[in-house]
Structure 1
């Protein structure tokens, strides 16, 4: 038996190879089979992907209802304490979020090379096993097993399941990247709408306070985990990548925004909105079907867009790093509020558990709405960055208001702040796949999206642990002054936490302003002495040359760009 050995260069070389390619190779037999949803009965249509993606994401979105497990789980494992949040079970959520991002980042290139069906099936299986292990951990009163089951195994399953439908949708719908991204992830928000009710009904409405249960906490994880698994596996059978050469309106998987039609050689295209091209070596004229329409295409030599980027180039680019930091800042607020909303409604705003579950569901609805509305608007307006700027500005304002609204027991204002933050939080998730596809091409979106989700994970694990530590210290301090402060001693328990998060939304807002999205800004070579460039409010290009601000005329910019594109196109012929 041969021994496994690392390539020369060791682990770093192996990692480099892992992220060096996203090429997906399929046989003619597989390509023929993928033209059918049900062989010989129903032909595949790209719009079938949308409901399948929603189903998978709804199951994954049950993660956002974890806060409904916090108090019942602490009572079941640690004993009764009048349903005061001890901030132990909440850490399972943060671990799951961390592993979620790491799994998505590491398996993103693997997903691109092996196809979405394998990714979705593996993710569903891991998530199912995670739920079963969690049920066992609760049953035997071992938080360690809960952390391993839901946090590590379940989190990994959620990570690969989440990106599995996003990648093919971005490739099948280059003409509707925002809508496709929004539909691909909106189900994640929907999962938090119904999950609190199913959890509460199965566990027992007032178990955290009274100890009276229905089916109980362990069986709840078994039942829901089994349901999620069946739905996710059925939906996984629909997922597939488009065939080689697939284009819509001249846009293929390599095209970045601003480079549409800039190919090194002319490429014959079929008379169809969505067309297929047959690459070199594929034979003679061939008839294919796309969206139930027949298109005849000619053999061509593929001419990749000269402005397309490899995965390694994308991940190492300045704009990707800026987008990574921006996304972290845009998502940390909503993530931490979602993890605590039911506890805040119950303990600070003094509402019953039914009301807390209702609020959690409404928050999930705002999250879902943001995932649909903002990406769709970005398609209509044909721009992405301004929506991230708006999101971070709104979150900054309402996060600044939130602590005061809780302290003053202003129920309506508190919920308004939380709902608006959740809306923009969801909008960021719905928008980021399309933004990444615009910047780096849909070919790389599975991997670039997977890596950028680690920003969300860092917010979940590091931000969550800091949040919990600050909360615990503040809780201990306020508890020691309970006699002095009275029954409302917990009103300020989250104030310090919300203040330090505010610094990140401000940072994200500033970074978002300077992310280059114009292809000319990103690719036009710098002139001698140029150190920095940006766009003035009037759209003119401004260069910082030898310490001086130089505003470039439109004519000068056009001439520079024309000269550069001719050189690039000539080099690719």
Structure 2
């Protein structure tokens, strides 16, 4: 097991840093499966009836609301474990962290498979929700931190490559899960239990590839011929380091916490209800008989949003290397505010094309926010503890995952209960989302370089910086 120690993963001279992105992608594509978990929802609600075509399950079958807890618990533990184990991740290094992530994430599938066989929802939640969620948190932050150390010249590009993989995890996980369930449909669980076991094995091999390939740079390493230069894009980049506990004492940390929370809250609620929203805003009664958006077309719209979500993670984070992190977020919030104000107008105009274009741009900035924030943290606090700081900041994601859907669904339901037509029920929500982005613009505008009193003294040894877990 000593092979997993950080000291044994330090790269030798001349090692190619471009081997790190494939290692990060292998892990993020695996844990990104959580975005495709919904393919198991309906089969899990039909375990007793065994009939996927039935309008509802048999007595004793779980409801969709109950099964939805698995996803919510997983995201909660993603944020919580990232915050709790961030110091340990930085101290022990990416190889041991990726190994622990693979062990927890894939063991979670095995435990969940047993839970399906026993028809025990708590056991499934323990597996895919708790164990899998902790594995998600460890696997999410470790590759990002490592990539930023390898690519000080292009940190946005580096983090975008990895986090794009997480956003695209559903593109692999959804068809894989569906194919495995179809293959083992006769196992007495509609193929769910067998699919979980196979996915445990497949993802463990992928994540082990990443764990054994990854390396960390030497403490004094930097790209050949590279030296920091002063320009508009890096005027906010610090040459100093701030430790994680000290970072939480700075206004910059809490401003960036607000930036991430507001950006994600505005996007995640819409993403979760995109299918229902487009069908209600552009129904037959709005566009005319036979012209409304069908369920199949709405599913295609959700897939399109997922592609823009994934592409935005790479494109926007790469752009931030050129124009700077703060200006990039200024674009997110300013353009996002405008588009959220316009979305209800597009609905009233019956302009489906403009609505789709606006939502695709919004989703690209939602994904771009995830990929740009690690580099923003690196700019503010240096690279020594950036993984631990990123882990603490991901609590904003956990909070937004609750606030966004609750806000959108709550206002929609109240509007409909008050007699507002479903097509018009989203207008108030869109204006509220625009208001949240205005607050995000202000928070981002207030970000300034970290004060010198928070810096790590230049002579302080690196080995002493993280203390105990």
Shorter-chain TM-score tier: 0.7 to 0.9
1:99-178 residue pairs with structure 2 within 5 A? 99-178=77-156
Structure 2: distance between partners of 1:432 and 1:455: 12
Counterpart in 1 of 2:443?
A: 511
Distance 1:515 1:128, change over 3 A: same
Counterpart in 1 of 2:256?
A: 323
Of 199, 203, 221, 1:246 maps to 221
1:72-108 CA-to-partner distances (Å, cap 9, x unmatched) read: 444557995469x954444432322221111111111
1:409-448 CA-to-partner distances (Å, cap 9, x unmatched) read: 7543443333222100111111111111111101121011
Contact 1:374 1:431 in 2 (8 A): yes
How many residue pairs align between the two structures?
427
Counterpart in 2 of 1:63?
A: 34
Distance 1:226 1:403, change over 3 A: farther
Whether 1:35 aligns to 2:12 is yes
Distance apart, 1:387 and its partner CA: 0.8
Counterpart in 1 of 2:269?
A: 336
SS at match of 2:168: helix
SS at match of 2:219: coil
Counterpart in 2 of 1:224?
A: 199
Contact 2:263 2:366 in 1 (8 A): yes
Whether 1:198 aligns to 2:173 is no
1:465-504 CA-to-partner distances (Å, cap 9, x unmatched) read: 55556667778x49xx8xxx9xxx7556666655544432
Structure 1: distance between partners of 2:441 and 2:222: 35
Distance apart, 1:185 and its partner CA: 1.1
Distance apart, 1:343 and its partner CA: 5.2
Counterpart in 2 of 1:426?
A: 367
Contact 2:86 2:391 in 1 (8 A): yes
Counterpart in 1 of 2:312?
A: 370
SS at match of 1:132: helix
Answer with 405-414 or 119-128: which moved more. Answer: 405-414
Counterpart in 1 of 2:356?
A: 415
Structure 1: distance between partners of 2:293 and 2:170: 19
Larger helix proportion, structure 1 or 2?
2
Whether 1:456 aligns to 2:397 is yes
Whether 1:395 aligns to 2:336 is yes
Instruction: State the superposition RMSD in angstroms.
Output: 3.8
Distance 1:67 1:386, change over 3 A: farther
Distance apart, 1:309 and its partner CA: 2.3
Contact 2:109 2:197 in 1 (8 A): yes
Contact 2:116 2:124 in 1 (8 A): yes
SS at match of 2:330: helix
Structure 1: distance between partners of 2:112 and 2:374: 31
Larger strand proportion, structure 1 or 2?
1
Structure 1: distance between partners of 2:118 and 2:276: 25
Distance apart, 1:129 and its partner CA: 2.1
Structure 2: tracts of 5 or more residues without a match = 58-62, 229-233, 283-291, 459-469
1:266-281 residue pairs with structure 2 within 5 A? none
Q: Which has the higher contact order (CA 8 A, sep 6+)?
A: 2
Structure 2: distance between partners of 1:429 and 1:319: 17
Of 304, 309, 318, 2:242 maps to 309
Counterpart in 1 of 2:466?
A: none
Structure 1: distance between partners of 2:425 and 2:66: 16
Counterpart in 2 of 1:380?
A: 322
Structure 2: distance between partners of 1:138 and 1:414: 40
Structure 2: distance between partners of 1:319 and 1:187: 28
Structure 2: distance between partners of 1:413 and 1:140: 49
Contact 1:61 1:190 in 2 (8 A): yes
Distance 1:142 1:194, change over 3 A: same
Structure 1: distance between partners of 2:48 and 2:364: 34
Distance 1:191 1:317, change over 3 A: same
TM-score with structure 1 setting the length: 0.65
Distance apart, 1:221 and its partner CA: 2.9
Whether 1:180 aligns to 2:135 is no
Distance apart, 1:142 and its partner CA: 3.9
